[in-house]
Amino acid sequence: MGMVRMRRLDQERRWTSEALVSLPARSASPGVELARRGGLALLLLTIVVVLVFLDRDSYNDTSDGTVGLIDAIYYATVTITTTGYGDITPVAPHARVLNAIIVTPLRIGFLVLLVGTTLEVLANQGRQIYRDRRWRSGMRNHVVVVGYGTKGRSAVETLETNGANASQVVIIDSRPTAVADANVRGYAAIEGDATRRDILRRAEIARAREIVITLDRDDSAILTMLTVRQLNPSAHVVVAVREDDNASLLRQCGANVVVTSSEAVGRLLGLSATSPNIGTVIEDLLSSREGLEVGERQVTAAEAGHAPGEVEGERVIAVVRNKTLRRFYDPAVATLQTGDQVVVVRKAADA
């Protein structure tokens, strides 16, 4: 007995320690769900009709004394909806028992189904519509990220690291898993094809300040870029492409910054092979929250009048003056001025 008990405990412990699979929730469109529930309600009504019609001799109709098919449908309808006019009643004892143990539970199930459907439509859909409208009304100068793959997630993390508010970031992706992942991380997300205007409008693209496009296909990125520029001519748009041949086309479409991912990765690989130290430094600059990082900030009053090389604690690599980017060695920015922006290399905050 002791050995059997030990084996049983061991089996129970094994089951409780194993990681059970988490199956995805099944979802259906509102129309399909409504049709399913309507069919279920019709099935409950049909059961009552068949039950009454087959046992029609046990019922009495005050109008003519007999119960036919129409009378059975009428009785089932007024009974299952709890209307109950009383003109048709069960008179045989067994008919009354059947009404108590079969018809009454069916009536309760019908009411639960009817009330549950009504409450779900009014509560869930109404609340979703209200939240959607409220969210749209608050979207101003936000950031829209099209594509939440590896590049999109890295872009969003970098935006948040540099001070972007998560509530002001909207994700667009055609994959339900990516949308769910974005929601888990605290971002609003829209499932759909970003080349469609209605999807972009749902993200309030016309009022966005920054748009980042990181799609897997260059043709989709180009079409999305054209649609974005039609809806928002003034937003700052950054696009990632795979092939360098498409970079000039995207600039003609209105992209402010085009990053060629394949060329950038290839150059990093070449530098790392030629000089591992250079590759390490570049990788350090691209990584976040460790080692070195690149940032942009406003020139302080104490720094105005000094050379870029005299800034303490950071290394100035470029100066933005009158919306023009100039390298640190440019004579035009030999002296910093109030209102300049400086691009600096500094120690990461968490390093």
Task: Please list, in sequence order, all residues whose beta carbon lies within 8 angstroms of the beta carbon of residue 167, skipping any fewer than 6 positions away.
Answer: 188
Question: What residue spans of 55-186 are helical by DSSP H?
Answer: 69-80, 93-98, 104-120, 126-138, 150-161, 176-184
- Give the tens place of pLDDT for each residue, 283-335: 777 666 678 888 888 999 889 999 998 888 889 999 999 988 899 899 999 99
Domain 140-264 homologous superfamily, CATH: NAD(P)-binding Rossmann-like Domain (3.40.50.720)
CATH 3.40.50.620 fits 30-136, yes or no: no
Where are the chain's structural domains?
30-136, 140-264, 291-351
DSSP β-ladder status, 341-347 and 315-321: antiparallel
Give the torsion sign (CA, 52, 54, 59, 65).
positive
Average pLDDT on 207-219 reads: 92
What's the pLDDT band for 17 if we cut at 50, 70, 90? very low
Q: Is 345 exposed, middle or buried (0-12, 13-18, 19+ CB in 10 A)?
A: middle
For residue 172, list its beta bridge partners: 146, 190
Average pLDDT on 156-163 reads: 81
Worst-scoring range by mean pLDDT, 10-19, 57-66, 116-125?
A: 10-19
Worst-scoring range by mean pLDDT, 200-204, 223-227, 268-272?
A: 268-272
Task: State pTM to two decimals.
Answer: 0.56
b/e map of 155-175 (b: 16 or more CB within 10 Å)?
A: bbebbbeeebeeebbbbbbbe
What would be the CATH architecture of the domain defined by 291-351?
Answer: 2-Layer Sandwich (3.30)
What's the pLDDT band for 280 if we cut at 50, 70, 90? confident
Residue with the larger pLDDT of the pair 148 and 32:
148
Average pLDDT on 260-289 reads: 74
Question: Cα separation of 62 and 116, whole Å?
Answer: 35
Instruction: Provide the terminal-to-terminal Cα distance of the chain, rounded to the nearest Å.
Output: 60
Worst-scoring range by mean pLDDT, 33-42, 76-85, 127-136, 166-175?
A: 127-136
Average pLDDT on 50-56 reads: 90
pLDDT surpassing 70 at residue 95: yes
